[in-house]
Every structure is written in structure tokens, then in C-alpha cells.
């Protein structure tokens, strides 16, 4: 009898969503990723905001929806990887990207996740020595980004992202 897969989802905003998606795609246990726009205002008749609207400060964060198998990778592990590739005290900026859409955030789906998130978050805050600029909130909304943004760095290997290339090969070691 096959063991049931324990699928969970978490939403992480960490600056440019292209690089964050590529980064998380490398890990065993990450079943799928999708880039989109999260935790902004509800949008006109439930339609997705466009990339142009997000770039004009719609209030949404560029975010990666991660579906993961918690039997293979835990939420604390995912978060430790996340904190490796962001500046957690930078407000509305990661690398050269600036604006509210580039803010950082951990958007959870239920209180059980918050219990797993809080110790990692608190440890990172202690390490930083000051309050983190990483939002810690329940996911309010998520709109998938346009198709050309999905797996963008696979389609455009020379595209810019604030995450150094060496982080895309952690599982090759």
C-alpha cells in the first residue's frame, strides 16, 4: 500500500519572483511552484492584476506559491532556504529591484503553519539584531502571473535576479 503524500502549500515573497521560483524548484519535496501576485487589494471582479499594474504599486507582492510534500521537506527547511536568499531587513527592496511589489513576506494558509514558521522567523530576527521587514501573514489572495513569467529564468537564462547563481545549484553538491 502506498503512503499518502502530505501536500502543503506556502506562499513566499522575496523580491523578484523569477529567481525565487528557480531557487525553490531545485529541492526534493517541492512538487510545484507558480509565480503570482499576493496579498494586495482584491482586484476588479476577481480578475488578476497585470504585471504592469503590479509595477505601478497595486499593492501586490511578487510571490511564489510552493506546493511541497512535507514528508520530504519540512516548512522550517523551506524557510531556512528562503532566508538564505533574501535580505530580511530590507524594506520594499531586494538587490536592484525596488518597490512595494518586491517586499518580502511569508504568507501561510493555516495556524498550524504559523507554529512551524514562528521559531525560524524569531531566530532570523535574533540573528539580524533588529525587526525583520518580512511580512508574516495569512494568505489573503493570490493571482497567478502571466504565462511568460512562469519559469522565466529557465526560458531566459540571462535574465536578471538578485539571487546569486551559486544558490541555484545547492543540490548539485
Catalytic residues: 16
Contact at 8 Å (CB) between 97 and 162?
yes
Other Cβ atoms less than 10 A from the Cβ of 153: the count is 20
CA separation for the pair 95, 156 (Å, rounded): 19
| CA 107 remoteness from chain centre | 8
> Is the four-CA dihedral 7, 66, 154, 82 of positive or negative sign?
negative
Map grid coordinates 512535507 to a residue: 70
Q: What's the count of helices (H) and strands (E) in the chain, helices before strands?
A: 5, 8
H helical segments located in 51-151: 51-55, 75-84, 111-128
Amino acid at each position: 500500500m502506498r503512503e499518502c503524500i502530505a501536500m502543503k502549500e506556502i506562499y513566499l515573497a522575496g523580491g523578484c519572483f523569477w529567481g525565487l521560483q528557480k531557487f525553490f524548484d531545485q529541492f526534493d519535496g517541492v512538487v510545484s511552484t507558480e509565480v503570482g501576485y499576493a496579498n494586495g487589494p482584491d482586484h476588479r471582479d476577481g480578475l488578476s492584476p497585470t504585471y504592469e499594474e503590479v509595477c505601478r504599486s497595486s499593492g501586490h507582492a511578487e510571490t511564489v506559491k510552493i506546493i511541497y510534500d512535507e514528508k520530504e521537506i519540512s516548512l522550517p527547511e523551506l524557510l531556512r532556504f528562503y532566508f538564505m536568499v533574501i535580505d530580511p531587513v530590507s524594506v520594499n527592496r531586494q538587490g536592484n529591484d525596488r518597490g512595494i511589489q518586491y517586499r518580502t513576506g511569508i504568507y501561510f494558509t493555516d495556524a498550524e503553519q504559523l507554529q512551524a514558521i514562528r521559531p525560524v522567523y524569531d531566530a532570523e530576527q535574533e540573528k539580524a539584531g533588529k525587526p525583520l521587514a518580512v511580512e508574516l501573514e495569512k494568505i489573503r489572495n493570490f493571482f497567478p502571473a502571466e504565462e511568460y513569467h512562469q519559469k522565466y529564468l529557465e526560458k531566459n537564462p540571462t535574465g536578471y535576479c538578485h539571487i546569486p547563481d551559486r544558490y541555484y545549484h545547492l543540490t548539485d553538491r
